Amino acid sequence: MAGFDESALKRLEALVSKSKAGTKLPPTEALELKELKLLKSAAEIAKGRAEIAVAKRKIEDRE
């Protein structure tokens, strides 16, 4: 995913597991968790849009 690399994914997984362990995250980590979730969502949206653009081009090329 563009803009969301392997290290960000690992950090997101670590923060999610830490938050699910029942301990309240410090404000800085809670904010980082929200930011990483938003970045992941944005990357997934961008990937979807790119796939749509490729499909559109293929359809236009057939015509």
* Beta carbons within 8 Å of 4's beta carbon, 6+ residues apart: 39, 40, 42, 43
Specify the pLDDT at position 22: 84
Geometric angle at alpha carbon 51, from 49 and 52, rounded to 5°: 65
Assign 3-class secondary structure to 15-58.
HHHHHHCCCCCCHHHHHHHHHHHHHHHHHHHHHHHHHHHHHHHH
Specify the pLDDT at position 2: 56
pTM of the model: 0.78
Specify the pLDDT at position 23: 82
Question: Per-residue confidence of the chain (63 residues) as pLDDT tens digits?
Answer: 556 789 999 999 999 999 999 889 999 999 999 999 999 999 999 999 999 999 999 999 987
Q: Which two structure tokens, joined as six digits, stand for 25?
A: 């995250």
